Amino acid sequence: MDRQETVGFEYFKVAEKDVVGRPAIVVKMKPSSFIIAALVDPLLFTFSKDDTTLLELEGRTIVKVKKGEKFADFDGYTTYSYPPQVKP
């Protein structure tokens, strides 16, 4: 948001795995411009195969890290948990 520009992205299925016993699909998102792709690492999203719930996210986050007097981009690994679904 702070850059106020738009960038095109491409998505690729790169793997299947289990996350806490749930079958999941890993999707890579990378900039479609090879120049930007050379400067920015791709994002990896892990979605549940059952209901497309986001389980993990690896890569650039919205969080910034203070370095000296400025804030720098932060690449991280995020896991998501959800309350159990209660069926009536």
What lies within 8 Å, CB to CB, of 14 at 6+ separation is: 26, 27, 28, 44
Determine what percent of the chain is predicted with pLDDT higher than 70. Answer: 92
85 or 70, greater pLDDT: 70
On the question of pLDDT at 1 being above 60, the answer is no
Q: Which of 4-8, 35-39, 46-50 has the lowest mean pLDDT?
A: 4-8
On the question of pLDDT at 84 being above 80, the answer is no
Domain boundaries, the chain: 9-79
Span between the terminal Cα atoms of the chain, in Å: 41
Radius of gyration of the chain (CA): 16
The pTM is what? 0.78
Could you report the per-residue pLDDT of 19-32, keeping only the tens digit for each?
Answer: 988 899 999 999 99
